[in-house]
Amino acid sequence: MSVLSFTDRGIYCAAGDFFIDPWRPVDRALITHGHADHSRPGHMRYLSTQAAAPVIRHRLGAIDLDTVAYGEARRIGDAQVSFHPAGHVPGSAQIRVEVDGEVWVASGDYKIENDGLSEPFEPVPCHAFISECTFGLPVFRWDAQADVMAAVNAWWAACAAAGKTAVLGAYALGKAQRLLAHLNTEQGPILTHGAVEATNAVLRTQGVRLPDTVQVTADVTAKTHPGAIVLAPPSAMGTPWMKRFGTVETGFASGWMRLRGVRRRRAADRGFVMSDHADWAGLNTAIAETGAERIFVTHGYTSVFRRWLETQGYDAQIVETEFEGESVDAAETSEEAEA
């Protein structure tokens, strides 16, 4: 019997009678992180990292949520589980499950570049590894974060010099805080949409250090805060909410900005290639460092990536899930589509 199996409710461990990031209500759910496609309402019992818990509670309300520290072993039935940093967003984890000496790791979402905000990714040796492949094509290769942020700050400065407000679209959990942590605060004020600021408040409460921000309210405009940059969820871009900022330039931070057609379709003035998911090189590095022979790929370019892994000698299979990855289309309709 496999350590983990794949069901219509989610990734299941029979030895411990629990699910990992289930998308339908279950009794016991182990949650990798707080994004909406991995942390869903309706479960009887939840288990997450201590660092992920505040955001999960903020999103899901009064739930039965237990927590563990990174690396802390927990016995559940006949399975031993532990959570290890995934580097995706603050508090995100890979979940290691061991049964009778066999180790499987469900990675959730991950990236291997240390962003200076999230707990850095740690490879976890295992026999089988469940990997996302949101950006599982060779075209997806990320520039160093320092170079991307230099470009963002230069764009902001150019907008301010031209008398425009820079409005930058980014998911409210993870991407927005990553950008915020590396903006040049000497250039001007940083304004935030309510969805972004609500997440900022939760993370600040648990000790995450972020620069000062001003939440956008009815009396916050381009006149009250000239030269500002605005961080907003993708769902707010192009809506009447933006009219208060006068003449604007819009930017969008996403791995999808690597594709020229996507930026045109989003009608953004600037696209910044930044993702909280691993790029092609990152996926391959992470998988190699696990030492796993069996790889299960989910949400993304699964067919292409599986074939590639097979040429590299892996036993690779595709797993159908309801995880979304970083979705530009989902971002159009809901700020809760953070992934």
CA distance 171 to 154: 21
Query: Bridge-partner residues for 132, per DSSP?
Result: 298
Whether 283 and 239 map to the same domain: the answer is no
Share of the chain above pLDDT 70, in %: 95
Whether 200 and 152 map to the same domain: the answer is yes
pLDDT band at 238 (very low <50, low <70, confident <90, very high): confident
Whether 263 and 321 map to the same domain: the answer is no
Residue 262 pLDDT: 79
* Domain termination residue (choose one: 215, 242, 272): 272
The CATH number for 330's domain is 3.60.15.10
| 130 and 109 Cβ atoms separated by less than 8 Å | no
Residue 45, SS3 per DSSP: strand
Whether 11 and 130 map to the same domain: the answer is yes
Please determine, for residue 331, whether its predicted confidence score (pLDDT) is greater than 80: no
Whether 18 and 131 map to the same domain: the answer is yes
Tens of pLDDT, residue by residue over 36-46, are: 999 999 999 99
Q: Give which of 82, 117, 78, 100 is closest to 274, Cα–Cα.
A: 117
What lies within 8 Å, CB to CB, of 130 at 6+ separation is 4, 11, 104, 105, 106, 107, 295, 296, 298, 319
Rounded to 5°, the CA angle 173-132-34 comes to 25
Q: Read off the amino acid at residue 219.
A: D
Share of the chain above pLDDT 90, in %: 89
Q: What is the mean pLDDT of the segment spanning 72-80?
A: 98
Whether 134 and 255 map to the same domain: the answer is no
Whether 159 and 234 map to the same domain: the answer is yes
Whether 131 and 9 map to the same domain: the answer is yes
| 294 and 127 Cβ atoms separated by less than 8 Å | yes
Query: Bridge-partner residues for 12, per DSSP?
Result: 5, 19
Query: Bridge-partner residues for 317, per DSSP?
Result: 296
* Domain termination residue (choose one: 225, 246, 272): 272
Output the pTM of the full model.
0.94
The CATH number for 186's domain is 3.40.50.10890
> 11 vs 21, 28, 223, 283, CA distance in Å?
7, 12, 51, 20
> The sheet that has 79-85: what strands, in order across it?
74-76, 79-85, 93-99, 102-106, 128-133, 294-300, 315-318
Residue 261 pLDDT: 76
Residue 8 pLDDT: 95
Whether 14 and 136 map to the same domain: the answer is yes
Please determine, for residue 197, whether its predicted confidence score (pLDDT) is greater than 70: yes
Whether 168 and 264 map to the same domain: the answer is yes
| 272 and 253 Cβ atoms separated by less than 8 Å | yes
* Domain termination residue (choose one: 228, 244, 272): 272
Tens of pLDDT, residue by residue over 287-306, are: 999 999 999 999 999 999 99
Residue 328 pLDDT: 55
Whether 112 and 237 map to the same domain: the answer is no
pLDDT band at 327 (very low <50, low <70, confident <90, very high): low
Tens of pLDDT, residue by residue over 9-21, are: 999 999 999 999 9
Q: How many domains does the chain have?
A: 2
Locate the DSSP E strands across 107-170: 128-133, 165-169
Whether 151 and 267 map to the same domain: the answer is yes
Q: Read off the amino acid at residue 169.
A: G
| Host domain of residue 195 | 145-272
| 140 and 258 Cβ atoms separated by less than 8 Å | yes
Residue 155 pLDDT: 98
pLDDT band at 333 (very low <50, low <70, confident <90, very high): very low
